[in-house]
Amino acid sequence: MSSTGPASRVVSLLPAATEWLGTLNALNHLVGRSHACDTPLGLEGLPCVTKATDDGWILDAEVLISLKPDLVLVQNSCELCSPTALNLPDTMKTCNLDASRIEEVMELPLMLGEAIGLAKRGAECVAKLREDWWSAIDHVAPYIPGPTALVLEWTDPLFVAGHWTPQMIRAAGAQPLLLSEAGVRSIAFETDDVLQADPDWLIVSPCGFDAMATQRATEKLCAGPLRELRAIQEERLIVVEGTRGFSRPGPGLFPLFRGLVSQFQGKPELTPWTDFGKPGSSSV
């Protein structure tokens, strides 16, 4: 069911949606969240309507119903990541914030702003995102062949990041390997496929992993067969905390994009290390 009017009591089941609420200065609308909604700071006191399990998550429908939300923020593309509208009681009004391309990610704050009665703020946010995106592209050399790059969204098995990630790589002046089409889902590849691709840059950002888990996964990866990759041997490995990485369609994608431009174009002054993964370490 879709929302038909501005909502004042919102439950977010999508970490990116919670981050967009923060960007819109609208966290006061939030009355509940998922266990994965870890930013912005200060959410700890809000009721949590999901719990993490070995298989993903469990929804506490009783707590959700008790919060009496006007609107529940969801995604409907991956049931493993978070609850979808189909997992909720039929009476719940939802706002689906799915995105598969960077243009759709840019529209999310406008959709959210309209849903909670803050359309003007949403439009202003979209305008700023577009300005940030194109100001970064101004630093990309258009006539010089860029490096090759590969973004791993999962390390065991190896998944190459899809959706908006190939667009980000290409727009930053590099050539995405193994998965180059925008909007498609992430795809699993064999170790030999990655070794044969042998990218100039390897970026590791495991979906949903915090900084410590990201670092452990990266260390294990670098101790295995992929240690032979030039990117690892020549220290062109970038590690981005999974929960702040490419799999989350939130405001964090835009400093990440600026970081890609910085690295691929050899312009470290474009972004501080705190905004992008320093080679060989996490992004925090």
Asked if residues 13 and 82 have their Cβ atoms less than 8 Å apart, the reply is yes
d(CA 281, CA 284): 8
Examine residue 174 and state whether it is found in any structural domain, yes or no. Answer: yes
Asked if residues 49 and 33 have their Cβ atoms less than 8 Å apart, the reply is yes
User: Of the ranges 79-83, 183-187, 196-200, 247-251, which one carries the lowest mean pLDDT score?
Assistant: 79-83
- Residue 149 shares a structural domain with residue 267: yes
d(CA 279, CA 276): 9
- Residue 110 shares a structural domain with residue 231: no
Q: Please list the residues that pair with 238 across neighbouring strands.
A: 203, 279
- Residue 234 shares a structural domain with residue 172: yes
Whether 87 shows a pLDDT value over 80: the answer reads: no
Give the pLDDT band (50/70/90) at residue 231: very high
- Residue 83 shares a structural domain with residue 191: no
Whether 62 shows a pLDDT value over 60: the answer reads: yes
Q: Which of 88, 114, 134 is the last residue of a domain?
A: 134
The pLDDT mean for the chain works out to 89
- Residue 129 shares a structural domain with residue 150: no
- Residue 108 shares a structural domain with residue 170: no
Question: Which pLDDT score, from 0 to 100, does residue 38 have?
Answer: 85
- Residue 14 shares a structural domain with residue 124: yes
Q: Which amino acid is at 257?
A: F
- Residue 154 shares a structural domain with residue 45: no
d(CA 151, CA 240): 10
Give the pLDDT band (50/70/90) at residue 3: very low
Query: Mind listing the pLDDT tens digit for each residue in 241-275?
Result: 988 889 889 999 999 999 999 999 998 888 765 55
Instruction: List the CATH number of the domain containing 93.
Output: 3.40.50.1980
- Residue 198 shares a structural domain with residue 153: yes
- Residue 105 shares a structural domain with residue 163: no
Q: Which of 103, 134, 165 is the last residue of a domain?
A: 134
Query: Mind listing the pLDDT tens digit for each residue in 195-216?
Result: 999 999 999 999 888 889 999 9
Q: Which of 77, 106, 134 is the last residue of a domain?
A: 134
Domain span including residue 255: 145-275
Whether 218 shows a pLDDT value over 60: the answer reads: yes
Peptide bond into 40 cis (omega under 30): yes
Give the pLDDT band (50/70/90) at residue 1: very low
